[in-house]
């Protein structure tokens, strides 16, 4: 038998896909899956989720008229097959690299990405908003939101469903169930019932029954409703979604086109309010190493396709330093607990959970609940650590303010992925925590400059019972420093001087300390004697040290891996109120805060991102010389004394 003609090579957009016969789709799925594995092996990124939705993605683009019909992927982890099919295949090997494609859906990248997604559980809300816009503007297109069962652990998804059900909006939600097993196993009868219950005849008869029920006695209406619920729940388990106002269909096999295609066509053509289609898939489907992996190759670095072996850094990560110190502190204090919002692996808590299973709590994608849950623990004597990415802590800000800070409860926030994070781009950048935490009364805010400092901050936070505390640390590996067996706690609000000078002071908070030291060496070479300080604390400030530095230096730069409004703003506010910015014989202290610019920085290597942000050595030199009214000539890169 001659080999089959490749199909994927002929598909540039879903328009070509829609010309295929249904019997050709399994071949396309195999080719698409192989292409995706090859791509991610070279670029790294999210693999398992995309492998699980290959058939579903093909079916959706074939049945629906995208981009006119809006296809919204939640989070974006599973959107790689979608990108390949929507004109971006040739650029997929640039994803997560500077100038290349985003690892998530992105509006400015393609008309097939109607909504950007980096955080979970937003797709139903966005879809409902688009459905309202369509109806207000007289459109007739379909709105389809694809959301995973993990994302359904977030309250936002149910808020949106409750709203959509009450409005009876015409929209479709695809529940991609690949892990939680929230329904009985898929079988032929379940798939047959899903096809039947999504068909026009069934819906027509159901509507007739509803109309008859209105003129029959109430007990008959109630009896009819119970019969239908019992019948459909027997096969599907969808009563919960019905109570939210959605017409439930499923579950069906998300890898079987014979099940997918007729059901999708039925719900596309249904003149119905909100419909939820429950699809069962297998994360990592079609790649043996992903299927066997505990996390199904959810997020991977570059890997060998044959062996499945991923590239790994030999240096120790900040996340692992934190996790190890947390275990040591929990060994000493039984009141210590750890709380994560669906990120036990990413935050390093997997080892903590293994040793202290009764003291580690994964609450699902529910950051708001995580913070108030911790506040409740702290109110009754425990010492909870909320271990969370900076970008996800944003989702629980009101709880940080209202439930923790106002009540001055000793909740500890371990903030991973602080600063710019490289390939994941602006949706995952930890840009804002310094600003929004430093503005809150009662909160101690720390930032680690290296691994040893991080370990000491874990100890400090564990011992701080006077109120809330937070410490932040970057993504990636440290400098390989050896951490003492028993790191000492820091004195609250006290920084450290690493290098003494007399003219310029670089006041660094967090991960820019090494850059500050490198810049100081060059400044010394220009005859500008430079002091370097690791501030350690954004709040409370080391006011005694800052006062001394202000009185004995001509130029002060603050450095931070955070947005405007954070550490530098706190320092400026203090200096202004103390009169330390007033004119002196030297002409006045020249203060220049250096923070992330007021813009979102696209994905690239962290080094290039910080260069774009103006937080590298050259930017420090330019800032100092400009403050002094001098320049570095472009030709010689030397101080222009003219």
Residue numbers annotated as active site:
283, 367, 395
Q: How does 197-235 read in b/e, with b if 16+ C-beta sit within 10 Å?
A: bbbeebbeeeeeeeeebeeeeeeebeebeeeeeeebeeb
Give bridge partners of residue 589 from the DSSP assignment.
none
- Specify whether the CB–CB gap between 96 and 67 falls below 8 A: no
Q: How far apart are CA 231 and CA 246, in angstroms?
A: 16
For 371-403, the DSSP string reads: HHHHHHHHHTT-EEEEEEEHHHHGGGHHHIIII
| Cα torsion angle, 612, 312, 325, 450, sign | negative
Q: How far apart are CA 561 and CA 512, in angstroms?
A: 7
CA 195 and chain centroid, separation = 36
Q: How far apart are CA 287 and CA 47, in angstroms?
A: 10
Q: How far apart are CA 599 and CA 602, in angstroms?
A: 10
* Neighbour order of strands in the sheet with 143-148: 70-73, 143-148, 172-177, 275-280, 247-253
Q: How far apart are CA 601 and CA 510, in angstroms?
A: 19
Tokens 């005849």, residue located: 201
**DSSP code of residue 602:** P
Q: How far apart are CA 319 and CA 361, in angstroms?
A: 18
Beta strands in 213-259, from DSSP E residues, in sequence order: 247-253
Q: How far apart are CA 148 and CA 378, in angstroms?
A: 32
Q: How far apart are CA 578 and CA 594, in angstroms?
A: 21
Q: How far apart are CA 33 and CA 347, in angstroms?
A: 29
């Amino acid at each position: 038998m001659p080999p089959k003609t490749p199909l994927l090579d002929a598909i540039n957009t879903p328009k070509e896909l829609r010309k295929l016969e249904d019997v050709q789709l399994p071949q396309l799925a195999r080719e698409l899956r192989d292409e995706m594995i090859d791509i991610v092996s070279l670029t790294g990124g999210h693999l398992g989720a995309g492998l699980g939705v290959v058939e579903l993605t093909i079916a959706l683009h074939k049945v629906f008229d995208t981009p006119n019909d809006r296809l919204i992927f939640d989070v974006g982890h599973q959107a790689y097959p979608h990108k390949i099919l929507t004109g971006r295949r040739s650029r997929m090997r640039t994803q997560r690299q500077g100038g290349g494609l985003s690892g998530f859906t992105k509006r400015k990248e393609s008309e097939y990405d109607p909504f950007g997604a980096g955080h979970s559980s937003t797709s139903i809300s966005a879809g409902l908003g688009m459905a309202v816009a369509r109806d207000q503007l007289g459109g007739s297109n379909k709105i389809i939101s694809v959301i995973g069962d993990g994302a359904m652990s977030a309250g936002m998804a149910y808020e949106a469903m409750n709203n959509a059900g009450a409005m009876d909006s015409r929209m479709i939600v695809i529940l991609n169930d690949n892990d939680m097993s929230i329904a009985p196993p898929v079988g032929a009868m379940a798939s047959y019932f899903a096809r039947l219950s999504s068909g026009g005849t069934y819906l027509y008869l159901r509507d007739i029954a509803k109309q008859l029920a209105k003129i029959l006695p109430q007990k008959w209406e109630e009896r009819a409703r119970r019969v239908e619920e019992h019948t459909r729940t027997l096969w599907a388990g969808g009563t919960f979604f019905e109570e939210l106002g959605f017409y439930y269909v499923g579950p069906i096999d998300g890898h079987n086109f014979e099940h997918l295609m007729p059901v999708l066509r039925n719900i596309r053509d249904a003149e119905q309010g909100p419909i939820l289609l429950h699809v069962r898939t297998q994360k990592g489907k079609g790649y043996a190493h992903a299927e066997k992996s505990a996390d199904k190759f959810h997020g991977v670095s570059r890997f060998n396709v044959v062996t499945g072996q991923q590239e790994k850094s030999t240096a120790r990560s900040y996340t692992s330093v934190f996790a190890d110190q947390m275990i040591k502190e929990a060994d000493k204090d039984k009141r210590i607990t750890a709380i994560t919002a669906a990120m036990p692996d990413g935050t390093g808590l997997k080892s903590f959970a293994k040793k202290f299973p009764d003291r580690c709590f994964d609450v699902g994608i529910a950051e708001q609940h995580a913070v108030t849950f911790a506040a409740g623990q702290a109110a009754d004597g425990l010492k909870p650590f909320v271990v969370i990415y900076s970008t996800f802590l944003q989702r629980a800000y009101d709880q940080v303010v209202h439930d923790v800070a106002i009540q001055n409860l000793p909740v500890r926030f371990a903030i991973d992925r602080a600063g710019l994070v490289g390939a994941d781009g602006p949706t995952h950048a930890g840009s804002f925590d310094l600003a929004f935490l430093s503005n809150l009364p009662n909160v101690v805010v720390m930032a680690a400059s290296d691994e040893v400092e991080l370990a000491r901050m874990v100890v400090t936070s564990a011992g701080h019972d006077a109120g809330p505390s937070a410490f932040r640390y970057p993504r990636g590996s440290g400098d390989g420093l050896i951490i003492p067996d028993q790191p000492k706690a820091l004195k609250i609000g006290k920084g450290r001087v690493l290098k003494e000078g007399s003219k310029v002071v670089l006041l660094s908070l967090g991960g820019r300390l090494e850059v500050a030291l490198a810049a100081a060496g060059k400044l010394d070479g220009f005859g500008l004697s430079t002091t370097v300080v690791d501030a350690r604390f954004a709040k409370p400030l080391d006011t005694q040290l800052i006062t001394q530095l202000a009185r004995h230096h001509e130029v002060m730069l603050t450095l931070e891996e955070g947005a405007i409004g954070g550490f530098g703003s706190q320092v400026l506010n203090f200096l202004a109120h103390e009169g330390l910015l007033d004119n002196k014989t030297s002409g006045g202290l020249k203060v220049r805060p250096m923070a992330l610019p007021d813009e979102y920085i696209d994905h690239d290597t962290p080094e290039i991102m910080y260069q774009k942000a103006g937080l590298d050595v050259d930017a420090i030199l330019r800032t100092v010389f400009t403050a002094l009214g001098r320049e570095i000539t472009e030709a010689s890169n030397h101080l222009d004394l003219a």
